[in-house]
Amino acid sequence: MLHPGNFHPTADIRRHWAVYLGLVIALAIWCGVDVTRRARVDPRHPALHMTDFTVYTEAGAAFFDGREPYDVSNIRGWKYLYPPLFALLVAPLAALPPHWQAGVWFALSAWMMFGCYFECRRLASALSDAGWFREPERTTSAPMIPNGIERAADSRTFPLWLFVTALLAALFPVLNCLQRGQMGLSLVYPLLLGFRLIWLGKTRTAWLVGGLVLALPIALKLTPALPACGALATLIVAAFHRGMTRSNARDTLLPTPHSELRTPHLSPIWGTSGLLAGTLLFFLLLPAALIGWNDNLRHLETWYVRVASRVNDVRDDDFSGDAASVRNQSLFNAVYRGGNWVAYKFFDGPDDLRIDVTQATMPMDAPIVSHILSVVRFAALAALGAVIVAAGRGGHPLLHGVAFGLAGVATLVVSPVSRGHYFVFWLPAVVFVPLWFRQIGRQRTAFALAVVPAALSLAHYALLPYAGRIGLLGLGTTAWFFTTCLGIWTCRAEAVASAPIGAVEVDPAKRLTQAA
């Protein structure tokens, strides 16, 4: 746990008011000339309607007017696939014309975009104030970053190249969410906020609220459960490890600092309690207050039967739209697209583009492919578990952020549907992972792990018909994830030697607070 740091959003806005004002004006112009126009409804030309947001408002209206929310669709035929809460929250906007709906959601999404930036700055400020941004010593095994990319750093300097690569990795997924009325930012922002509260909070109230906030994106869309639970699991492992270390010290009659004899930190207990309470609130109590207890249970059952229980059959049922589209870059679909392309190009297989126009049987439909992918997805969860254990036992808070970020990337790997805009989940990982490798002196590794996500994201959006066809983003993300997990596990001991003085203790919270 760290000191909250000295960054304050209001002070930053006052200091750089011209920059913020320029961004707001640019976003407002973009919304007026492009985003709202995409929401127009022309029954003669339904393809002109290019926003997802009306899917949510149409379902929200159906919750209150007697229609089945999971049967209704917008003009494009797209249906609602998530638990009831999100549609219920945006249901009042259904009374507005579609272009106004898109404009209001764009404004809210832009606000959450700035919120994500501020949360990242708060986390960076806490790390900086504790001395985690000091310039590592150069060695022959840690080559210099290319000239001009990294400026001179002191103990409070965030590396410029890391800021640029993180921005490039998240830029197009964020713009995609803003343009098409998608909900990615409404998931990432509460994840970052909840993580900060349980990670930097000093009181039981902060930890409890942090757990509640982490439960919100899970109720909006189930996939954020992995990073939310991963953040708390790391704290639980850390608390258990501190307790075991103190117990061993007493059993062997070793001299133990007074700080180590304290009661184990209660943040995981209160954070987990908040997560459980939030799950109850957002899945049951709040929806029931809006539409009634029995109706909410009925809709939850419908959602579970039609969606949650059939996530591995997305191609058969196609409940998620065009699940085989080049835009879906989950590991599942990336292997399907890339494998069919390889079979067509090099082994005289059928044209892989046939799957864009027909449900033709393709080489990657073989049952063995599905079995192998199931093993790989299980291995991804196991690798994440190893990182969580290493982070909890390591005693240095930077690895907590690494585990949280990698849990977000693991979501992209194990989910059967991960469209391009879902890759806003890259954001925590592309900040914490390179920073950790930089801290232990692995400059080249840090730079590579920062650049690769940015390159994959840019290539996917710039060359979608080609990169999407071979599954570049999905396969590259999976390779990056496993490489990173392996690197963290093999280098975990180096973090102890490279941490700021006093940062790695049995109970690091007090030491880092003092250092800050």
Encode pLDDT of 260-286 as tens digits: 333 346 788 999 999 999 999 999 999
**Phi, then psi, of 142 in degrees rounded to 5:** -125, 85
**Other CB atoms within 10 Å distance of the CB of residue 218:** 25
Q: Return the bridge partners of 142, or none.
A: 139
**Cα distance between residue 506 and residue 387, in whole Å:** 18
Alpha helix stretches (DSSP H) within 395-493? 398-414, 426-439, 443-462, 472-491
* pLDDT at site 258: 34
Q: Return the bridge partners of 139, or none.
A: 142
Q: Any idea which residue has 């999976």 for tokens?
A: 478
Residue 348's pLDDT band (boundaries 50, 70, 90)?
A: confident
Which three-class secondary structure state does DSSP give residue 73? strand
* pLDDT at site 275: 96
Q: Extract the tokens encoding 356.
A: 């864009």
Query: Using CB atoms within 10 A of its CB, is residue 361 exposed (0-12), middle (13-18) or buried (19+)?
Result: exposed
pLDDT at 49 over 70: yes
pLDDT at 423 over 70: yes
pLDDT at 505 over 70: no
**Phi, then psi, of 139 in degrees rounded to 5:** -135, 170
Which three-class secondary structure state does DSSP give residue 44? coil
Cα distances (Å, whole numbers) of residue 323 to 48, 49, 125, 328, 349: 21, 20, 40, 6, 21
Domain ranges of the chain: 9-515
* pLDDT at site 359: 66
What does the DSSP assignment read for 408-430? HHHHHHHSS--BGGGGGGHHHHH
Q: How much is the average pLDDT of 304-328? A: 72
Alpha helix stretches (DSSP H) within 49-183? 53-65, 84-90, 98-129, 160-180
Q: What is the per-residue pLDDT across 371-386, written as a single tens digit (0 to 9) for each?
A: 999 999 999 999 999 9
pLDDT at 129 over 80: no
Q: Which range has the top average pLDDT, 69-78, 128-137, 215-224? A: 215-224
* pLDDT at site 149: 39
Report the percentage of the chain scoring pLDDT > 70: 81
Which conformational region is residue 5 in: left (phi greater than 0), alpha (psi within -120 to 50 degrees), or beta?
Answer: left
**CA terminus-to-terminus distance, the chain:** 11
**Phi, then psi, of 73 in degrees rounded to 5:** -145, 165
Nearest to 212 by CA among 239, 230, 191: 191
Cα distances (Å, whole numbers) of residue 339 to 334, 390, 403: 8, 34, 30
The C-alpha angle with vertex 428 and arms to 425 and 431, in degrees rounded to 5, equals: 135
> How far, in whole angstroms, is CA 482 from its chain's centroid?
17
- The answer to whether 83 touches 304, Cβ cutoff 8 Å, is no
Q: What is the per-residue pLDDT across 189-204, written as a single tens digit (0 to 9) for each?
A: 999 999 999 988 888 9
**Other CB atoms within 10 Å distance of the CB of residue 95:** 10
Which three-class secondary structure state does DSSP give residue 509? helix
> How far, in whole angstroms, is CA 325 from its chain's centroid?
22
DSSP single-letter state for residue 203: S
DSSP single-letter state for residue 79: B
- The answer to whether 42 touches 170, Cβ cutoff 8 Å, is no
pLDDT at 501 over 50: no
Q: Extract the tokens encoding 379.
A: 């291995």
**Phi, then psi, of 439 in degrees rounded to 5:** -65, -35
* pLDDT at site 145: 44
- The answer to whether 444 touches 143, Cβ cutoff 8 Å, is yes
What does the DSSP assignment read for 141-160? TBPPPPTTTS----TT---H
Report the percentage of the chain scoring pLDDT > 90: 54
pLDDT at 90 over 90: yes
**Cα distance between residue 354 and residue 361, in whole Å:** 9
Cα distances (Å, whole numbers) of residue 515 to 130, 132, 496: 5, 10, 16
pLDDT at 100 over 80: yes
Nearest to 469 by CA among 372, 380, 339: 339
The C-alpha angle with vertex 348 and arms to 343 and 352, in degrees rounded to 5, equals: 50
Q: Return the bridge partners of 328, or none.
A: 419
Which three-class secondary structure state does DSSP give residue 18? helix
Q: Extract the tokens encoding 202.
A: 């000093």
**Phi, then psi, of 328 in degrees rounded to 5:** -85, 110
Q: For the ranges 19-23, 24-28, 271-275, 354-358, which has the lowest average pLDDT?
A: 354-358
Residues with Cβ within 8 Å of 294's Cβ and at least 6 positions away in sequence, in order, are none
**Phi, then psi, of 76 in degrees rounded to 5:** -85, -5
* pLDDT at site 280: 97
- Please report, as a single letter, which amino acid is at residue 203: T
